[in-house]
Structure 1
Amino acid sequence: MDDGTSTAQSLEQWLAALHFTDLPEAAATARVVDAVVAWGESQGWRVYRRAPSVFPLPAPLKGHSVLDVACARPGGQPIAVEVDRLDRQRTVDKLLAEAAAGRLAIWVRWGTGPFRPPPLPVHLAGREASRSRGLWHTVTDRPAPQHSADPGTVEAAELPLGNVTEVKQQPS
């Protein structure tokens, strides 16, 4: 049985390649869910969106909650994935119930980090993003591009300015 750490790390590495710019929160969440689905499909697993959860809905609602993504793996325990920007206790409780039911539980957190690790056996996969002007964009570790030459390699030269106090007469 997978301890979940390597699977969560694999998903986090996949999410590192996810980039988006100027998306409202709901669209950014949908983009993260799409990336989780693509990751599961790339592994050759059956992937389900909005899969039934073992966790009950809060009163007065009846029935059970749903998972953002679930993966069925041949020869491995099923995976239950929740995607959230916020640190919600209900999400932790749902994933703990999924883990107790024998599923590998992964919480995908996106947004401004750092992300507080959930209690084991729930695993964390994160993707940092920032908000500006009310819209979200992914954060990257890549350095900014170099826009000019390194000042250590440039030779300083004095420019010929001439007599700056001299006023040139315009022809009439």
Structure 2
Amino acid sequence: MDDLAPRLAALTFTGLTQEQVTALIIDTVGEWGEAHGWRVYRRAASVVTLPPPMERQHSVLDVALAREDGPPIVVEVDHTHRQRTVDKLLAEAEEGRLPFWIRWGTGRFVEPPPPIHLITLPVTRQQGRYTRSLLAAPEHSAAPATGEAAELPMPE
């Protein structure tokens, strides 16, 4: 499971909508689970029911992963902080599932309570579109500057 965060951190994209970014992250989580040989369920039923008047229906999880070698993993993907997501993931944890919350966006990321595992993906936003780039800042020379400093004349 330690390889999910680096896999997500390697994602890059330019000019995607909110829905496209969320779908890309969900697809990446699904591919990660499949690469481990796990069963992947998108939009899986949660243990949490919807509020009235729909209390007979269950909320859904973005991704659920069934594993033979451990408890199920549940994943929620959000671009904002939602208390309902925190409550849902805590309820899933109480049922023995490992909860992961993938938060992406431009703002501040609030650490959820344990045992929720938070993975953050900072992005930039311009004109309603989102971009994630891994371009590193240019390296600066460590060599000292050479030459003489010259005083420039000041206009009077």
- What is the aligned residue count? 143
The Cα RMSD (Å) is: 2.1
Percent identical: 52
Sort the Cα spacing of 1:12 and 1:56 in 2 relative to 1 into closer, same or farther, 3 A: same
Which residue of 2 is the match for residue 161 of structure 1? none
Larger Rg: 1
Letter of the 2:61 counterpart: L
Taking the aligned partners of 2:126 and 2:62, their CA distance within structure 1 comes to: 26
Which residue of 1 is the match for residue 8 of structure 2? 15
Taking the aligned partners of 2:106 and 2:70, their CA distance within structure 1 comes to: 32
Deviation string, structure 1 residues 49-99 (Cα, Å, up to 9, x no partner) = 001100111222131101000001112000010000000000000000000
Q: Does 1:102 align with 2:96?
A: yes
TM-score, scaled relative to structure 1: 0.76
* Structure 2 unaligned regions, length at least 5: 147-156
Q: Answer whether contact 1:104 1:122 (CA < 8 A) is retained.
A: yes
Which residue of 2 is the match for residue 58 of structure 1? 51
2:111 to 106, 113, 117: 117
Q: Where has structure 1 moved over 6 Å in runs of 4 or more?
A: none
Which residue of 2 is the match for residue 25 of structure 1? 18
Taking the aligned partners of 1:90 and 1:56, their CA distance within structure 2 comes to: 11
Taking the aligned partners of 2:58 and 2:34, their CA distance within structure 1 comes to: 25
Q: Does 1:48 align with 2:50?
A: no
Determine which structure has the larger strand proportion and give its number: 2
Letter of the 1:120 counterpart: P
TM-score, scaled relative to structure 2: 0.84
Taking the aligned partners of 2:119 and 2:11, their CA distance within structure 1 comes to: 13
